[in-house]
Amino acid sequence: MLIVFIGPPGAGKGTQCRRLVELFDIPHLSTGEMLRAVMEQDTALSRYVASYINAGKLAPDHLVMRIVSQKIKSPDCAKGALFDGFPRTMVQAQMLDDLLTELKRPLDVVLELRVPDEVLITRLLKRAKIDGRADDNDSTIRERLRVFHEQTKPLVQYYGAQGKLRSVDGTESELDVLATLCPL
């Protein structure tokens, strides 16, 4: 079972994915968390990654692909995986398709969490106070939303054309969103 989960920053991808991986018993592959783990080190690579993320930009495609392709080939992912916040660009989506074709493991479904920008800004500013993530501040949040509309939103059309897209309203409560994502 291979699932892609896309949505704007602050849509609640991480929250929903933590519940979905328990239900489906597959690993959670959050590129955001993997990149934050890289940033915790004190290396040239970590400073390179931070220069993108802390400015509200996306990390470079080649770097993200290298991390993801390593993970997906590991034994933990034999039963499948839930990709959280990946792919985020058309290049990543096409590279993922190529990789999965090579591995003969097609994507099952792409879940899109939809939340209007005004709600996202409110949520992210609130999260900034709680988690203190360096990329959750007013100007970076606006840049991340702009980048989402420009680079990630086109994936909705791309996966829609493949007949794989399921869009869900992400403004409801956590449990209502979960129930819509996996109706029992």
CB-based contact 58:8 (threshold 8 Å): no
Considering CB distances under 5 to 8 angstroms, the limit depending on partner class, which of Mg ion, ligand ATP, none binds residue 53? ligand ATP
d(CA 146, CA 142): 6
Considering CB distances under 5 to 8 angstroms, the limit depending on partner class, which of ligand ATP, Mg ion, none binds residue 165? none
- DSSP at 75: G
d(CA 86, CA 34): 11
Q: Take residue 79 and report the two structure tokens written for it.
A: 């039963």
Query: Is 88 labeled as catalytic in the residue annotation?
Result: yes
Nearer to ligand ATP, 81 or 92 (CB): 92
CB-based contact 5:83 (threshold 8 Å): yes
Q: Which stretch binds ligand ATP (CB under 6 A): 28-36, 72-80, 153-161, 175-183?
A: 28-36
Q: Would you call 117 helix, strand, or coil by DSSP?
A: helix
From the list 36, 57, 127, 142, the catalytic residue is 127
80 sits in which H/E element: none
Nearer to Mg ion, 14 or 60 (CB): 14
Considering CB distances under 5 to 8 angstroms, the limit depending on partner class, which of Mg ion, ligand ATP, none binds residue 3? none
The binding site for ligand ATP (CB under 6 A) comprises: 7, 9-14, 30-32, 35, 52-53, 58-59, 64, 85-88, 92, 135, 144
